[in-house]
Chain A
Amino acid sequence: MIQTIIALIIKEFRQVRRDPIMLRLLFIMPLVQLLLLGYVVSTDVKLIDTAVYDFDNSRLSREYVRSLTAGEYFVASKDDLPLLNADLAFRQNRRNAVIVIPDDFSEKLENFEKVKIGMLLDGSNANTASISLGYAGLITAQFNQRVLGLNMPIQLRQKNLFNPEAESVYFMVPGIVAVLLTMITVMLSAMGIVRERERGTLEQLMVTPISTIGLILGKIIPFAIIGFVEMSIALAVGILWFDIPFAGSWGLLYFLSFIFLFTTLGVGMFISTATRTQQQAMFFAWFFTIYALLTSGFFIPIANMPHIIQLLTYLNPMRYYMTIVRGIMMKGSSIDILHKEVLAMVIFGLVVFTFSALRFSKRVK
């Protein structure tokens, strides 16, 4: 039994080594994902291109525009289109925002009357639009305060624990670890088994004395090992290159990742029983990965989702693992804190793996 499993594992690694494209992909993928998501994807919105229509053109209005553009958020440029056609600049993707200051701006301010400033935003990118609006509101409030010369009694002093600079890299890297582990193990195990079926080698294996359990273990252990290697590469790059902190226990992270693998390898095995060709298996695995990714809280906070979708996220094992990886890496969470997620993952792993293993052994019998 042990010997047949070892024979299968050696064979699997030889096959991976024989496939130079696969090999490169396996090592380049985590690096590219990390660099892309680490550098490029940032939830902060900066350098918002703003067309300013200042009909007042007074000292006060210019001061308002200056305070708006003082930070790195807004970049003001002069209006170059009639106001009625301002949305054309949005269509041409030249502007993200338009600010309109009425001609009675300073006059009303000096008389302590209410004055309205117009702001147009490009709603086709709702995320950028709402964040821009937030900034503009904040800056306007500060400007109000200054004009009135008031000293506001309540002041908010905020501090982000675990990530004081609010660096998105800090929480993206743990997310990528979860994504990589899911993607690699689901896809490789599904395709690895289907490939044997497609080529007819699975049938040949069934005539040898290998047991079904031995076959399952021999087919999935190599992919679990590859998953761990990928995960380690991602962690190493995250820590050494992006300087992200690692607050928790390495042992706990790897142990819980091991538990998580039962689910992903189980899903991979399930896919292999539901498809006949490698192509079908890949699409299926891709579909699962996207679903898992979108409902895991990786990009989109689960709290922002509609209630019904929130319920759906409970059916996503990656959701729990995402919480665990981020918890361990950023907050140094221990198992007492994560016990609910761990329990959910254990149940998922047991159910999915057992179900798929039974289905698989029925298919090969």
Chain B
Amino acid sequence: MRLVEIHDLCRSYGAITAVNNFSLTAERATIVALVGPDGAGKTTLFRAACGLLGFETGSITIAGFDVKTQFNHIKPLLGYMPQNFSLYPDLSVEENLSFYAGLFGLNRTDFNQKKKYLYDFSNLGQFADRRAEALSGGMKQKLALCCNLIHDPQVLILDEPTTGVDPLSRRQFWDILKKLRHDGSTIIVSTPYMDEVALADKSVFIFNGKNMAEGTPDKLTALFNGRVYRLDMVPDINQIESINALRGISARRFGSSMRLYIKPEREIADYRAAFSQFGFSENDLREIRPELEDTFIQLMEQA
């Protein structure tokens, strides 16, 4: 069953089109990862899906209800975690939870039961009396998630919940997401981390407000066209620019190494002369298997 359906959504801010004919579906009990560079339109899309932002054309339905006309039916089924921490920093962990329980109409007994469950899997119990502002980044995000789980939502929309969170907390956060999926929740999550994209059931690559590609992580990786080479040297910007000026080849810096992308119709040998000019030879290059990120870069360059 499709819990979330977005069809041909358009939303612009003046002359800038933030979301452009975007479509997306999410099946029950799946995790959909939305990935794309800053400014790709992820937050606009999420805010529109949560009824916080109008849109010009297209439609969004959640659990069969239309966001524009039946949002009141959606509210009890939806949990939304915005990108910025938006709980009450001056209230304690437990006070934040009890506030949300009150908003969703939980009685005392239900709340205590729910609280125990949430504390169990989030490890927040030991910080119950601590003010939210005094929590670490990862704990804050867990608390924000817990506040959104208090009413057992069927659909969770999470806007970059793990950005800026340490790797261990990120993994714990994703363990929670997988558990929620197992319990039947549908989760749409945006993330800048490729390793997290690989954990999702389906990934959607968004760029300039468009759905560039979607599918399982493996399927997306297989979309790469051409070959990837890795060069273990710290490139300078001039080198990259000079390589990009050549036809059929492009270069990108990856931390302290460089990747060269060669179009399928080209051979690495075509560039032998150019390489020697930049101070390395064909032998320094190592062909590697394209990764998800390489696909995204290629899609972005083609756009």
A: which residues have CB within 8 A of B?
A: 3-4, 6-8, 10-11, 14-15, 18-19, 199-201, 203-210
A200 touches B84 (CB 8 A): yes
B51 at the interface (CB under 8 A from A): yes
* Chain B residues within an 8 Å CB radius of A7: 98-99, 101-103
Q: Is the CB of A209 within 8 A of B82?
A: no
The reply to whether B76 and A209 form a contact with Cβ atoms under 8 Å apart is yes
> Does B87 reach chain A (CB closer than 8 Å)?
yes
**Contact: A4 with B52, CB < 8 Å?**
no
**C-alpha spacing A200/B72, complex, angstroms:** 20
The answer, yes or no, to whether B238 is at the interface (CB within 8 Å) is: no
Binary interface encoding of chain B residues 51-92 relative to chain A, with 1 for a CB under 8 A from any of its CBs, else 0: 110000000000000000000100110111010111111110
From residue 92 to 141 of chain B, which have CB atoms closer than 8 A to chain A? 95, 98-105, 131
B50 CB-CB contact with A under 8 Å? yes
In the assembled complex, the CB of A214 is this many whole angstroms from the nearest CB of chain B, namely: 9
Query: Chain A contacts of B86 at CB under 8 A?
Result: 199-201, 203-204
B101 contact set on A, CB distance < 8 A = 7
Picked from A18, A204, A209, A210, the residue with its CB within 8 Å of the CB of B91 is A18
Number of residues on chain B facing chain A (CB within 8 A): 28
In the bound complex, how far is the Cα of B102 from the Cα of A209, in angstroms? 11
Determine if B103 and A201 form an interchain contact, defined as CB atoms under 8 angstroms apart: no
Residue from the list A4, A201, A206 in contact with B102, Cβ < 8 A = A4
Q: List 13 A-B contacts (CB under 8 A).
A: A3-B102, A4-B103, A4-B105, A7-B99, A10-B99, A11-B88, A11-B99, A18-B131, A201-B86, A201-B87, A203-B52, A208-B103, A209-B105
Shortest Cβ gap from B101 to chain A (Å) = 8
Which residues in B have their C-beta under 8 angstroms from that of A199? 86, 88-89
Which residue of B has the minimal Cβ distance to A210?
B103
Is the beta-carbon distance between A18 and B102 smaller than 8 angstroms? Answer: no
Contact B76 A207, beta carbon cutoff 8 Å: no
CB-based contact A200/B82 at 8 Å: yes
CB within 8 A of A201: which of B51, B75, B88, B98? B88
Are B91 and A207 touching (Cβ within 8 A)? no
Which chain B residue has the least Cβ–Cβ distance from A5? B102
Task: Check B91 against A208 for contact (C-beta < 8 Å).
Answer: no
Contact residues in B for A201 (Cβ distance below 8 Å):
86-88
CA of A199 to CA of B86, assembled, Å: 6
Cβ of A8: which chain B residues have Cβ within 8 Å of it?
A: 99, 102-103
A3–B50 Cα distance when bound, in Å, is 23
Q: Which 10 A-B pairs have the closest CB atoms?
A: A7-B102, A200-B86, A18-B90, A209-B75, A208-B103, A207-B80, A204-B86, A11-B99, A201-B86, A4-B103
A206 in complex: contacting residue of B51, B90, B131, CB < 8 Å? B51
Q: Which residues of A contact B80 (CB under 8 A)?
A: 204, 207
Asked if residues B76 and A203 are in contact (CB atoms below 8 Å), the reply is no
Closest to A19 in B: B90
List, in ascending order, chain B residues with CB within 8 A of A19's CB.
Answer: 90
Question: Within 8 Å CB of B84, what residues of A?
Answer: 200
Which B residues are in CB contact (< 8 Å) with A10?
99, 102
Inter-chain pairs besides A4-B102, A207-B79, A209-B76, 16 sampled, C-beta below 8 Å: A7-B98, A7-B101, A8-B99, A11-B88, A11-B102, A14-B95, A15-B88, A201-B86, A201-B88, A203-B52, A203-B86, A204-B86, A206-B51, A207-B75, A207-B78, A209-B103
For the complex, give the distance between the alpha carbons of A12 and B80 in Å: 22
Residues of A within 8 A of B85 (CB): 200
**Minimum distance in angstroms from B44 CB to a CB of chain A:** 13
Query: Are B52 and A11 interface neighbours, CB within 8 A?
Result: no
Chain B residues whose C-beta falls within 8 Å of the C-beta of A204 in the assembled complex: 80, 82, 86-87
Assembled-state Cα–Cα distance A8/B82 (Å):
20
Q: Which residue of B lies closest to A16 (CB)?
A: B90
- In the assembled complex, the Cα of A4 lies from the Cα of B105 at a distance in Å of 7
Query: Hey, which chain A residues are within 8 Å of B88, CB to CB?
Result: 11, 15, 199, 201
B52/A15 in contact, CB under 8 A? no
